[in-house]
Structure 1
Amino acid sequence: MLSQLLSFFKALNSDAGPWQMAFAGGFALIIGLTPLWSVHNLIVLLLVFVLRTHIGTFFVFWAIFSGFAYLLDPWFDQLGYAWLTQPGWQSFWTSLYQNDWWQVARFNHTITLGSLAVSLVLFVPVAVALRFSVVKYRAKWMPMMNKLKVVQALKATRLYDLYSKVN
């Protein structure tokens, strides 16, 4: 995890595309908020590896959003339960569950349904906010951070030189 965190900060300070980092954070939102062993998470992982996203950013935000998931699971459960018990939707959910694919997708699980719905709704706003944050950080905060004596001292060490050569 430490190497992923270092990779994230290196990408934040490099010329890595802001959208690469933003989409990595958006995909991490989906995997982090939903239960791990789900079919839709396999699809998201496939997208992460096929599309040009920053893997270090993905793993850092996955850990962050997983922490939020534990706090939000009761709310996801209530949301999923409300959707699954709507009288007008009973026949829809029943027909989905009769299909083998939808049984594997586990949308009858209240937390899975609620968390996936919330994460899909938040995907675009989170990706746009992360892209905006990366651009603002690089324009405003990165020059100030590089001027700090602590950062200059760390960059002057032999350990930093070894890390730079390895990566």
Structure 2
Amino acid sequence: MTLLLKQIFAFFRLLNSDTGTNQLAAGLSLGLILGFAPFFSIQTLLVFAIIFIFRVQLGAAFLAAFFFKFVAFLFDTPAHYLGKSVLENESLRPLFTTMYNMPLVPMTRFNNSIAMGSMIVSLILLPFAYFGFKVAIIKYRATVVARFKSSKFWKAFTATKFYNWYLTYEKLYG
């Protein structure tokens, strides 16, 4: 539980910092794929590789994955019907037979209708999620953070010795 709270606080610190919106939006949108994909699968390893190779915010991805795991249950029935219709498509049967006989591809669990449908849904939602999160982060920083930093409470708090101590501590031990 403390790990989750630590990730949430780190995420809000990132939202309020000058961290690039692309890294945060990419982390949140890749968390969508992690949330919809089965945990022990090749898709998860591929997304982790993307997160670690490119500059993607890890905390945002984990927080989004935690949230989207719960949202994915709401999409199970439509994902099942979508995956079932794709898997039962006669024109794709030779492709799926070839994929199933490959060494690592069956570990993607593509032959499960819910896993197939969830992967299709998450890949369709990925670009919309990326741009939606990017716009939301920009609007959050422009409205909420700017309004909070101009408030009397924040100005009074930044004038205290405790805040100055915190800034020194953050510089030294970050």
Shorter-chain TM range is 0.7 to 0.9
* Aligned residue number for residue 41 of structure 1: 44
Give the alignment of 1:27-106 within 5 angstroms: 27-106=30-109
Mapped contact 2:36–2:118 kept (Cα < 8 A): yes
Residue of 4, 7, 10 corresponding to 1:7: 10
- Give how far 1:145 is off: 2.8
Mapped contact 2:37–2:43 kept (Cα < 8 A): no
Residue of 137, 140, 144 corresponding to 2:140: 137
1:24 aligns with 2:19: no
Unaligned segments of structure 1, at least 5 residues: none
Q: Output the aligned Cα RMSD.
A: 2.4
Residue of 110, 115, 137 corresponding to 1:107: 110
Cα pair distance change 1:10/1:114, threshold 3 Å: same
> Counterpart of 2:116 in structure 1: which amino acid?
L
> Counterpart of 1:55 in structure 2: which amino acid?
L
> Counterpart of 1:97 in structure 2: which amino acid?
Y
- Give how far 1:50 is off: 1.6
> Counterpart of 1:80 in structure 2: which amino acid?
G
Distance 2:157 2:83 in 1: 48
- Give how far 1:151 is off: 6.1
CA deviations on 1:81-134 (whole Å, 9 max, x unpaired) are 111011222222122212222222221111111111111111111111111111
CA deviations on 1:123-155 (whole Å, 9 max, x unpaired) are 111111111111111112211233456767887
Unaligned segments of structure 2, at least 5 residues: none
CA deviations on 1:33-52 (whole Å, 9 max, x unpaired) are 11111101101001111211
The higher radius of gyration belongs to 2
TM-score, normalization: structure 2?
0.84
Higher relative contact order (CA 8 A, sep 6+): 1
Identity in percent: 29
1:117 aligns with 2:137: no
TM-score, normalization: structure 1?
0.87
1:161 aligns with 2:169: no
